[in-house]
Amino acid sequence: MSESHPVDFKSYFRRCVYVFIAVVCTTSLMIAASFLPHYGWPAKVAMILAIACINAFVVAGFLMHLLSEKKLIYTVLGFTVFFVAGLFVLTIYALHDFPTGTQTH
């Protein structure tokens, strides 16, 4: 939330209404995507997570004012994204790393 700009209650209220509509729409889209026939599990997961990312962008960008934050906060979040991505990559890499001779599914 930025403190450097003058604040107008009405414009914020309008912004909140738009954000709420966006959240409801993206949530509905996620649910609809999960019930889509003729799509495999990986395709559905990719679609649902892509929509969830849009939803998260709306909340972080407009409600947390991340679209107009200070440089230091972007730096902190940049490091966080790097380490979380590393965590996921290492986990996915480890999925195929079985000790020799052990049975897998």
Nearer residue to another protein within complex by CB, 85 or 100: 85
Binding mask 13-52 toward another protein (x if CB under 8 A, else -) reads x--x--xx--xx--x--xx-xx------x--xx--xx-xx
Distance between CA 85 and CA 105 in Å, rounded? 26
Quote the least distance from Cβ 73 to another protein, whole Å. 5
Distance between CA 97 and CA 85 in Å, rounded? 19
Question: Which tokens sit at 64?
Answer: 């947390």
For residue 35, what is the DSSP state? T
Contacts of 91 (CB under 8 A, 6+ apart): none
Query: H helices within the chain, ranges in order?
Result: 9-34, 41-58, 71-94
**Site size toward another protein, by CB under 8 A:** 49
Site residues (vs another protein, CB under 8 A): 1, 3-4, 7-9, 12-13, 16, 19-20, 23-24, 27, 30-31, 33-34, 41, 44-45, 48-49, 51-52, 55-56, 59-60, 63-64, 70-73, 76-77, 79-80, 83-84, 87-88, 90-92, 94-95, 105
